[in-house]
Amino acid sequence: MMKNYLLKIYLLTVFSILVISCGSREDSPVIPTPPKVVTNEPPKYDFKGTKIIAHRTVWKDSPENSLSSFENIVRRNAHGIEFDIRMSADGVLFVYHDPTINGFQISKTDSSVLAKQKINDNEYLPTLEEFLVIYNQIENYNVKLYFDFKNTNDYAYNNIFVKKFVELLNKYNISEDNTICFYDFRILSFLRDNNSNHQTAFVTDVPINIDKLISLKVTAYALYFDKCNFTDEEIQKIKNNKLKIVVWTVNDIDKIKNMSQLGYVDAIMTDIPDKVMEIYK
């Protein structure tokens, strides 16, 4: 009896060992580890609320100051669009940076001739009115407009220029929180004579006395990024009087990041708004 009992114990022990061994075999089913999700999105960066403005409507490879680039930006995430305004000899406003196109001086050429000029293989010289029609159709008012006013030295011409310009803004109900950029203080006077209450930005690559801008109730001071060096006293005046600082044209991501951390730069104009907005937080 005792021998039979011991035999049973022995057999049960061997069976248990075999079961445990089979359960831990290397070829037993293994639950696979889920693959890591790889993303190509760049890391986001906190720009402290500094706005990114598309300089001359540049967006990726689209031509500057063109209808196609303008529409691209309005439909996307940049905070603002800067573009250049000129007037023909017969009072039509066009969007173009240089004073001449294909040998024609814009201020001395009729609109019928200018309208036939191409800025690239597919697009003709656009009018400001065409830009404003697109802006109203898309109705993305999160994107603010920065009109770069390219006046001449002709007093009478500039007076008409401002009048036509303000008429168009009123026609398309362009809100006063959009900005008119000017280089000549006489333009500011003309704007106010024509009852324009839009935001204004004095543009310069030569530093100007901040007290003058404050006394004239200019909304913003737009200056070249290398000139963006203010004393502590000036910075305090900028903040106390809510004077906006707009910096142009910065095309280096690290410089744009650094300027956004200064604490007084409201907006940065750049030719790479698409790249900046990819990392904007």
- DSSP code per residue over 179-210: EEEESSHHHHHHHHHTT---EEEEEESS---H
- pLDDT confidence bin for 42, thresholds 50/70/90: confident
Give 100's strand partners: 105
Q: What is the mean pLDDT of residues 165-192?
A: 96
How would you classify the pairing of strands 51-54 and 265-270? parallel
Contact (CB, 8 A) for 279 and 42: yes
Domains assigned to the chain? 51-279 (3.20.20.190)
Contact (CB, 8 A) for 5 and 13: no
Instruction: Output 111-114 pairs: Cβ under 8 A, ≥24 positions apart.
Output: 114/88
In tens, the pLDDT along 179-235 reads 999 999 999 999 999 999 999 999 998 889 999 999 999 999 999 999 999 999 999
Residue 81: name the closest of 178, 12, 163 by CA. Answer: 178
In tens, the pLDDT along 63-118 reads 899 999 998 888 887 899 999 999 999 999 999 999 999 999 999 999 999 999 99
Predicted TM-score of the model (pTM): 0.84
Higher pLDDT among residues 36 and 279, named by residue: 279
CA distance 225 to 142: 25
Sequence-distant (≥ 6) Cβ neighbours of residue 189 within 8 angstroms: none
| CB atoms closer than 10 angstroms to residue 119 | 18
Helix (H) / strand (E) containing 248: strand 244-248
The pair of three-digit structure tokens given for residue 151, joined into one six-digit string: 């006046």
What beta strand segments (E) does 69-136 contain? Answer: 80-87, 93-95, 100-101, 104-105
| CB atoms closer than 10 angstroms to residue 113 | 16
Helix (H) / strand (E) containing 265: strand 265-270
Contact (CB, 8 A) for 65 and 84: yes
Question: If 0-12 CB within 10 Å is exposed, 13-18 middle and 19+ buried, where does residue 131 land?
Answer: buried
